[in-house]
Amino acid sequence: MHRALFPAAAALIASAAPVWALSEAEGLAEVRAFTLEHNAALVAEAGKLRDLAAGYAATLSAHGNDYAAAWAAEGPKLAETVAAMRAQWLAASNQYETIEGIVAGIPATAKYDLILDAGNPGTEAEDVAAYDLPLPDGTVLEKPGSLFHTITEPLLWGTDPGHVKLAADLNGDGQTGAGEVLFDASLALGAADGLLHWSKALEAEMTAWDPNRDDAFTAVVTMTPTVGDYFGEWKESQFLGGGGEAFVAQSRLVDVLGIIGGCQRMYLSAISPVLATADTALDAAITSDYADLLALIGDTRAREKAGERFTAEEADALGSEAQDIAERIVAQVLQAAAKHGVEIRG
């Protein structure tokens, strides 16, 4: 049974729901077009972030990279630039989150998800983002982790103490609160360059992508059951009183709506047409479960946005409920895959 939604959550889910495809081929084409549309927007937003980072670095360079001197001379300009960079980061990140459920689920493009958003540094044993990041000062960071959540978010919001250069009263209230800092300009510019470069590389890969049935099923089976992990990250984030360096710019639930919304889009557009005739009951069950899963996430986010504070225990319970629905979806999609000779590729 569908849960009742806050109006804001209902509107968000309705706006994200794809148009029903008339055929499987049309549905696959629709998913590809949707992904390319948001990928192009990601490139545009990353380019704006790169320009802001270049301006920030130029201001620091004009003062010999003396952060205290730069702040004393041009504090209002630097504060305005930091605020603009944060807003631009959110614009770029949200474009990517909208298509992450598709990009990360397709074997040919999954590596870009690790580089841009979800990968670990080379110090970890698995899910390592396989790239190196050159910086303007000539330093090369080897396998530093994802550009969005390992590098730029902690940098821009001041939760990465190793790259904080100066505490600064950015909002002008006479105090320096959490996150009110100037950060390493070389890393900011190098990472913004990296975001732009890898966003363009993803766009080239997606342009060349020839979507097929195996891709659609694989993406849904791969990404839908990650929802429980995202709720765990939400629980550990500062939004619920945790101390993590990432997921501080906005609630992790905003990302989850984008990711699972992409999975739902892939299902309704590209897989449902395969099942709609021969497996109508199965198709209806999966469609209903996706609606319930998005309703759960959307309702939780709407309650959070309205000011409700969740305990860790409540987050665990909500995550478990979401994971149960996701695993039911996957089991049913795998059943459909077996019926239709689909290969789930890893």
CA–chain centroid gap for 329, Å, is 22
Output the CA–CA distances (angstroms, integers) from residue 124 to 81, 120, 145, in the order listed: 34, 6, 9
Q: Do strands 140-142 and 132-134 pair parallel, antiparallel, or not at all (unpaired)?
A: antiparallel
Q: Do strands 164-167 and 181-183 pair parallel, antiparallel, or not at all (unpaired)?
A: antiparallel
CB 334 within 8 A of CB 344: yes
Task: Specify if 280 maps to a domain.
Answer: yes
Q: Measured between alpha carbons, how far is 76 from 29 in angstroms, rounded to an integer?
A: 48
Q: What is the DSSP string of 193-248?
A: HHHHHHHHHHHHHHHH----HHHHHHHHHHHGGGHHHHHHHHHHSGGGT---SSS-
Residue found under tokens 């849960």: 3
Output the CA–CA distances (angstroms, integers) from residue 128 to 116, 118, 119, 120, 203, in the order listed: 11, 9, 5, 4, 21
Q: Measured between alpha carbons, how far is 256 from 125 in angstroms, rounded to an integer?
A: 25
Task: Specify if 22 maps to a domain.
Answer: yes
Which pTM does this prediction carry?
0.91
What does the pLDDT read at residue 3? 53
Q: Measured between alpha carbons, how far is 299 from 7 in angstroms, rounded to an integer?
A: 9
Task: Specify if 125 maps to a domain.
Answer: yes
Q: Which domain holds residue 187?
A: 7-339
Task: Specify if 345 maps to a domain.
Answer: no
Local confidence pLDDT in tens for the 346 residues of the chain: 445 444 444 444 444 444 455 799 999 999 999 999 999 999 999 999 999 999 999 999 999 999 999 999 999 999 999 999 999 999 999 999 999 999 999 999 999 999 999 999 999 989 999 999 999 989 999 999 999 999 999 999 999 999 999 999 999 999 998 899 999 999 999 999 999 999 999 999 999 999 999 999 999 999 999 999 999 999 999 888 888 788 899 999 999 999 999 999 999 999 999 998 889 999 999 999 999 999 999 999 999 999 999 999 999 999 999 999 999 999 999 999 999 999 998 7
Q: Measured between alpha carbons, how far is 310 from 314 in angstroms, rounded to an integer?
A: 6
What does the pLDDT read at residue 239? 87
CB 268 within 8 A of CB 287: yes
Task: Specify if 224 maps to a domain.
Answer: yes
Task: Specify if 1 maps to a domain.
Answer: no
CB 322 within 8 A of CB 225: no
The CATH number of whichever domain residue 87 belongs to comes to: 1.20.1420.20
Task: Specify if 200 maps to a domain.
Answer: yes
| Domains identified in the chain, total number | 1
Task: Specify if 344 maps to a domain.
Answer: no
What does the pLDDT read at residue 18? 46
Output the CA–CA distances (angstroms, integers) from residue 187 to 89, 155, 175, 211, 257, in the order listed: 15, 8, 26, 36, 30
